[in-house]
Amino acid sequence: MGVVKELVSLEDYLSMSFDGVDAELIDGEVAERPMPNDAHSLAQQVLAEAFGPARKAGKILARPELRVQVDPRTVFVPDYCVFAGATRDPRSTNPPWLVAEIISPSDVYSRLVYKLDHYRAWGVEHVWVIDPEQRRLSVYRQEGLLRVSKLELPDLGVSLEPADLFDEPAA
């Protein structure tokens, strides 16, 4: 006998709160996310600092851990996302311009690729994958996950190398 999974409506999910890290809604099922570690948090902070000047200038809206509704049954919580322009409707189903996923040691590869595929199909122009454990940077394009030496958006003055994201500056 198979396991029956309880489906949750979008409205019910949006009214839920979770202990610790916010869960996601994937095809109507609530899915827990891994608890971030120190390396994950450092990468997230570096992203916030890198996009800070463009955010302060009103060019973008950038947020960590923001729920984004991909479709009526799916809500992801990317580690960091950037919207073109300075405003966003909290219930908007418009895709971010950039999504960054920071891999945690307990992340499952197939679930990551599932999310990356959905981001691209939804219209997210830039999809970044940051792997602190392997010290790898990748972009997700139509041809798949491609390893890169740096993540960059020259129009916003953002250029990040592994040392920027994974090394704590000396005091």
Closest to 21 measured CA to CA, from 62, 76, 59? 76
At 118, the amino acid letter reads: H
Separation CA 81–CA 68 (nearest Å): 9
Q: Which domains does the chain have, with CATH numbers?
A: 35-166 (3.90.1570.10)
Q: What is the model's pLDDT at position 154?
A: 92
Separation CA 30–CA 1 (nearest Å): 22
Q: What is the model's pLDDT at position 75?
A: 92
The pTM (predicted TM-score) of the whole model is 0.89
The distance between the two most distant Cα atoms of the chain, rounded to a whole number of Å, is 58
- pLDDT tens-digit map of 48-98: 999 999 999 999 999 999 889 998 899 999 999 999 876 666 656 789 999
- pLDDT tens-digit map of 123-168: 999 999 999 999 999 999 988 999 999 999 998 999 999 999 998 7
- pLDDT tens-digit map of 85-112: 766 666 567 899 999 999 988 888 888 9
